[in-house]
Chains A and B, each alone.
Chain A
Amino acid sequence: MTPDAYARARAAAPRAMQPAWKSQAVQLGFALMAVAALAGMAIDLDLRGAAFVAGLSKLARLASTMVPPSDGGDLARIVRALAETFAMAFAGTVIAAVVALIPGIVGAKTVVAQPALHFGFRRMLDMFRGVPALVWALIFVAAFGLGPFGGVLALALADIPSLAKLYAEAIENCDDRPMEGLRASGARPLAVLRLGLLPQVAPIMASQTLFFLESNFRHAAVLGIVGAGGIGFELEERIRIYAFDEMAFIVILYVICVAVLDTVSQRVRARLA
């Protein structure tokens, strides 16, 4: 290549003709910094390879005691606990769905046409959307004592902000032409909502609520750990006494229940659409 050709290529694409090591060095620098930061985090948390390996071998030992799974001679109790977990999930979802209706409707842009109010309200919902049900459960169990009551409240409270947001979006995204048609026929405002809005948003809301029932069944299973009853309580007890064969049995039964609930709920949601 003649020096002239090189100069022309450089002029045409200065970045591409830059010596390769330069951009590579920058990339390498960034990569090193990232690795250093991650290593720093690992050291800060005292995560050591040796501990991990030792834990893995212990894990293998524990896992070997899981077979064969055993019901521990009290299947009825496990089934009751599963039913209680589902009951918590169902009750929590129903309460959340009913309560979320109000902020959901108020939070819809099309209902409250005041942008600042709407923005503030949505942001508030956003802030509390992140709090896991377990954190609520901890406080409610402390307040109301052991038992599913705290769990139900915790599930409901954790769902309300998310459901309210979804409801608000369902209302905002609905088609307003049917409502205009009703208004043009001289329908009262309530009749416009009943015949124009409700048939549009009700199936969407029902479908979203069912989806939350599915996820609440998963969340409800862990609430027992902090004393809110249900299958989580049974599991925690088995783990504490190292009865991993019984734990395995409960987990398998639970996974089957989750699969059944998911299938049923998906069927219903498909019909709603």
Chain B
Amino acid sequence: MDTAPAVETFERLRRITLRRQRLEAAVGLLAFTVVLVVAFQRSQFFGAEIGGDPLGRILTFLDRMVPDLRGEVLFEGRQQGGSLAWWYYDLPVWLRAGWQTVEMAVLATLAGAIAAMLASFLCARNLMPYAPVRFAVRRMLEVIRTLPDLIVALFLVAAFGVGPLAGVVTLALSTFGSLGKLFAEINEQVDPRPLEGLDASGAGFMRRIRFGVVPQVLPNYASYALIRLEGNVAAAAALGIVGAGGIGVELQRAITYTEFETYLAILLLIVGMIFAIDIASEWIRHRLIGLGGAR
């Protein structure tokens, strides 16, 4: 049976393939291991500075974060240690800061989306006939997308001073970068027939966009902008940490005063806030898509 030519041919081919596969696997595994070891060593993950027992440290720390709530006094006043009100002792201030974060996100998303809309008309292949303009706008959007929000925020805080203004500008800029690209893709997928109709009636660049493109793309734009709004609420919360206003400022304060229980309280507030915005935005988006379909 072993002498059958088909078997012999196969075994020869198999040896060659196996050798190649094993070599590839060995090289890949080696490269991965080296990078992994170097990465853990560079990031001092198992370094001595933290006591060499990361898990134990995390557990101790978690314990410090969780407040000592007591069931029997849970709903009493904030002077009573162990009550909910005691844990959330500065709730009005936090809610106000949280609302500011939402406001920052809304304004930044709107400003970024409007700018992105204008840019998207300039870099869509079917709308902007001059290739150099498309190229320049696209590269600009790409560079903006690469810059991390917080680095931009740091820089803008230096220019605009501490406060929500720097945060709004930062978020508007990054929204502009990401939505500009998405909007341009939507523009390139529009139905060309209305555009041809407008061309036939002699419409210019602005008219083509106003009557040929905007009615088709607006629901999609709004849907993407809302998704971005969800992300911006989370981002705005983080921006406060570098002094750009909103709830992040409170987080930073809690850490500075080593009030880890307060940190957890605010963190849960942020999680709830992001979750609520997500649900609201999802609801609106589903309605928008429904409307778009009915048209």
Contact = CB atoms under 8 A, between A and B. Distances in A.
B49 A147 contact: yes
Contacts, number: 180
Interface stretch (A131-139, A171-179, A192-200): A131-139
A152 B45 contact: yes
Interface stretch (B76-84, B85-93, B156-164, B213-221): B156-164
B95 interface: no
Contacts of B235: 132
A104 interface: no
B245 A45 contact: yes
Interface stretch (A18-26, A68-76, A80-88): A80-88
Interface string A118-148: 0000000011101110110011001111011
Given A131-B234, A135-B251, A147-B44, A45 B158 contact: no
Most buried by A among B58, B150, B230: B150
A65 to B, nearest CB: 11
Interface residues of A, number: 60
A258 interface: yes
Interface string B35-50: 1101111111101011
B159 A55 contact: yes
Interface residues of B, number: 66
B31 to A, nearest CB: 11
A225 B65 CA distance: 22
Interface string A59-100: 100100000000000000000000110111011001000000
A122 B238 CA distance: 24
Given A46-B164, A239-B154, A131 B36 contact: no
A127 B276 CA distance: 10
A242 interface: yes
Contact of A242 (B156, B158, B230): B158
Contacts of B100: 44-45
Interface stretch (B3-11, B67-75, B104-112): B104-112
Contacts of A229: 43
B288 interface: no
Given A45-B104, A88-B43, A225-B151, 10 more contacts: A38-B107, A45-B165, A55-B156, A62-B155, A132-B238, A134-B150, A138-B263, A221-B148, A222-B148, A229-B43
28 contacts: A45-B104, A45-B164, A45-B245, A47-B165, A87-B38, A87-B39, A94-B36, A126-B275, A127-B275, A128-B271, A130-B234, A132-B235, A138-B251, A139-B65, A142-B258, A143-B57, A144-B54, A145-B49, A145-B50, A147-B49, A147-B50, A148-B42, A153-B58, A222-B150, A225-B151, A225-B241, A235-B154, A251-B147
Interface of A: 38, 41-42, 44-47, 51-52, 55-56, 58-59, 62, 83-84, 86-88, 90-91, 94, 126-128, 130-132, 134-135, 138-139, 142-145, 147-149, 151-153, 218-219, 221-222, 225-226, 229, 232, 235-236, 239, 242, 244, 247, 251, 255, 258-259
